[in-house]
Structure 1
Amino acid sequence: MAKAFSAGRRGITGFLEPAERDLLRKLFSDIITMLEPATPAHEDPLAALIGLDMDVRVPTDPALLRLLPDALTGDADSALEFRQLTERSLRESKIGALRAASLGLDSEKLVLDSEGAKLWAMALNDVRLVLAERLAIRTAEDAERIHEVQDWGDADDVESYLSLVYNFVSWLQESLVQAMLVELQRTK
């Protein structure tokens, strides 16, 4: 069974069972796959070098849109222009955090420095965003519905299983953030 992250002399540590590590590895991989854009055959190398993506469009998958939301509202043309200027680097940043977190899953005991903890927090947050969209969490009532499923034996459908995964990832992220806050207080 997983142990909550905690701050200590060696950094932030946590413990995950093999099945929990496999689950997270799969979730991270799935999100990476969602975020990897199809590279057009005619991509301008200079545009790619400076992070421009003139072919980018608003995602049609609601979960991907939750990861890559419009930064500007009310003006579709400005929102698209901003997306063209920023989405490539945002995708790369998210993919980098997910890959870094996935690399940490090679051992049961996780030991994170401040940068590793930041990357893990980003990765877990992206997983939670996708799961929240798939579970249609929009209100406090929706969140309460998700938290009602408490036992893996009660998961008899996809929504129940996803609810348990969402609860696990939420708990893991909360313990990480708490450990990061303790670590921050120590450095002041």
Structure 2
Amino acid sequence: MSRGFRRSRRGIRARFDDQERALLAHLFVEVHEMLDDGPDGESDPLAMLVGIGTATDLPGDPAVARLLPDAHRDDPQASADFRRYTEAGLRQRKRDGLELARQTLGRDGNLVLDDAEAQAWVVALTDVRLVLASRMGLEVDDDHVRLELLAAAELAHEAAVAQRDAGGGSDDDGEADPSGGEATAGLSMLLAIYDFLTWLQESLVEALLEPLPRD
């Protein structure tokens, strides 16, 4: 199980088991794929050469929109112009950072990062957390409390169903699902992953701020 990040003389270290490595790698790949070329995939070659895209609107996927927010919410024209000149590069930088973080997970033994790699991890973890938060509807602190209650109800319902099935009871008893049914399916797992990433990122930021230890 992960012990979080620590500053050492060799670099910023962390220990992950195989399941944690696989989970993190999967999340980095998933968000990387979300940040595809978007509308720029159909841009003219000259525009692509100088890094100008065609996207002027906020992405339709709410999760991607949180990764690529409007720069000027009160000025749609300025926001559109800014997005046209910057979104393609921002997408690529985020993909590069996610891929770098994923590649470091392939190293043998404990993970050891230099400061540049650690900074890439900070951004990559932020991007994954933003996507998870969007999928769960987590916008403000109070939302986390609400989601915790829903996740607890989901787990309680699953335990009740398992107990009923073990006793040979029927699923068709007309009882309502207190967790909200399909709307919260897997919510407890998503929230647990989000909290794990939050803790991991906090330990990484703290490690980056730590002075280099003495011999």
TM-score (ref. length: structure 2): 0.78
CA contact (8 A) 1:155 1:161 kept: no
CA contact (8 A) 2:2 2:17 kept: yes
More strand by share: 1
Aligned counterpart, 1:2: 2
Once residues 18 and 122 of structure 2 are traced to their aligned partners in structure 1, the CA distance between those partners, rounded to angstroms, is 20
The RMSD of aligned alpha carbons is 2.3
In structure 1, the gaps of 5 or more residues are none
In structure 2, the gaps of 5 or more residues are 159-184
Aligned-residue offset at 1:67: 0.2
Quick one: which amino acid aligns to residue 164 of structure 1? A
Once residues 120 and 38 of structure 2 are traced to their aligned partners in structure 1, the CA distance between those partners, rounded to angstroms, is 24
CA contact (8 A) 1:64 1:130 kept: yes
Q: Give the stretch that moved more between structures: 130-139 or 46-55.
A: 46-55
- Residue 92 of structure 2 is aligned to residue 127 of structure 1: no
1:170 to 191, 198, 204: 198
Aligned counterpart, 2:14: 14
| Pair 42,8 (structure 1): closer, same or farther in 2 beyond 3 Å | closer
Equivalent residues, number: 183
CA contact (8 A) 1:147 1:167 kept: no
Once residues 154 and 106 of structure 1 are traced to their aligned partners in structure 2, the CA distance between those partners, rounded to angstroms, is 37
Query: Displaced runs of 4+ in structure 1, greater than 6 A?
Result: none
Q: In terms of Rg, which structure is larger?
A: 2
Q: Deviations over 1:124-156 (max 9, x none)?
A: 010011111111112221123456769xx8895
CA contact (8 A) 2:56 2:81 kept: no
Aligned counterpart, 2:145: 144
- Residue 81 of structure 2 is aligned to residue 81 of structure 1: yes
| Pair 8,41 (structure 1): closer, same or farther in 2 beyond 3 Å | closer
Sequence identity (%): 39
